[in-house]
Amino acid sequence: MNRAKNKEKNILDGSGLKIGIVVSLFNDDITMKMLDGALSCLAENKVKKENIKIVFAPGAFEIPLFCQKLAKTKKYDALVALGCVIKGDTDHYYYIAGEASRGVMEVGLKYDIPIGFGIITVNNLKQASERAGAENNKGREATIATLMSIKTFQK
């Protein structure tokens, strides 16, 4: 299914929504582009700037804790988790990617809140750049998934 890959706009009227975004500062040259994609998607769906909370986590491993802190407040209709884990020469990549994924899922299930999963796991910087570009922005795609989840739950 390539629906999330396209340039879907107006998934829903998000003017009353409150969205939290957690962004990893590690690999910020990538994650800031993903954040731009997420914010542009929210704007296209009429989510007001003042209803968007952006928090910065040190790295992907810390994203679940930051998501949990936002979810616990019960102020947000949904969250978006954005990060970038690039494979290196050791197994560290597998632990970080796996625990970040598991942690985000656990927060969503525990607090019954949709979380758009935009933590990319790639082999190199070139792949990361491709996934943060204008044509294939995973921050945008994670936000589309979040908005689609909200729309489904509203029905």
Active-site positions? Answer: 92
Show contacts of 65-69: CB within 8 Å, 24+ apart.
65/103, 66/22, 67/20, 67/22, 67/103, 67/104, 67/107, 67/108, 67/115, 68/107, 68/110, 68/111
CA distance 141 to 2: 10
